[in-house]
Homo-oligomer: A and B are copies of this chain.
């Protein structure tokens, strides 16, 4: 088990530490762990993600849910932040997602264009910004350049930078795929090297070994893999994401393993809001129960 890094040893500037402290200790359980609610699927996948629970199509419903559920933050795009965050401003931290794309065109050259600035985030009272980095695509160079610009603005404003580190592209597909231990481990490290304060990754799948480098072509348990991923992220706080809706037990087990590995928190969207309101809150209670066992400094 890796020890979860404390805020005081991350080399953070004053503004970043103040905002991360507010997120981790002023909201949610207030014990240094984090539960985030991402709601950018209306852009990433389109309204079809809301057919399972039509109420979730309404951003007001989601922001309210984040408040009721005691989340540490909600991650939304600029349009929804301007139109809906006002109602609950201050009640739940805002993570302004700065880039995004639709799923319509091919993912071969996946790049998530920036649609809002860190200055927009400051203006809206956000406590962090989010950036999706596609690791390993043929246009990775443009992605790194975009991220540089966002990182520098985040530094200037003392705004914590959360990187959604997603392996993508034909080369990734040929080396175990986007959820392989190899890909997730590399993505976590890349985000750390490029200056993320927090990194969001998918739970690694060590059994996806077709085409991975020889070092990863061996037997690893899920716990061993997620331990390694958190180590690769070193002093970058780790959030494990839920991805597509799955069975609750599997998901809760992964949450437990992630926290055991030293992750700071979890970030579940569709698994939370693609179900009825009360059922959502029931699941959130279970997740909080897990987080409560891993207090951090």
Chain A residues at the B interface, C-beta cutoff of 8 Å: 10-11, 40, 42-43, 46-48, 51, 57-60, 77-80, 82-86, 100-102, 104-106, 111-117, 120, 135-138, 140-142, 144-145, 147-148, 151-152, 167, 169, 171-172, 175, 182, 185-186, 189-196, 213, 215-216, 228, 231-232, 234-236
Contacts and interface: CB of A to CB of B under 8 A. Distances in A.
Contacts of A192: 42, 79-80, 83
Contact of A113 (B80, B137, B145): B145
A196 B58 contact: no
Q: Within the oligomer, what is the number of copies of this chain?
A: 5
Contact of A51 (B100, B120, B152, B215): B215
Nearest to A51: B215
B86 A140 contact: no
A46 B190 CA distance: 8
Contacts of A169: 104-105
B11 A84 contact: yes
Contact of A172 (B78, B104, B213): B104
Contacts of A59: 234-235
B100 A193 contact: yes
B83 A135 contact: no
Nearest to A213: B48
A40 B57 CA distance: 33
Contact of A58 (B151, B190, B231): B231
Sorted nearest first, the 3 A-B pairs with minimum C-beta distance are A104-B136, A46-B186, A113-B144
B102 A186 contact: yes
Given A47-B185, A48-B215, A135 B190 contact: no
A110 to B, nearest CB: 9
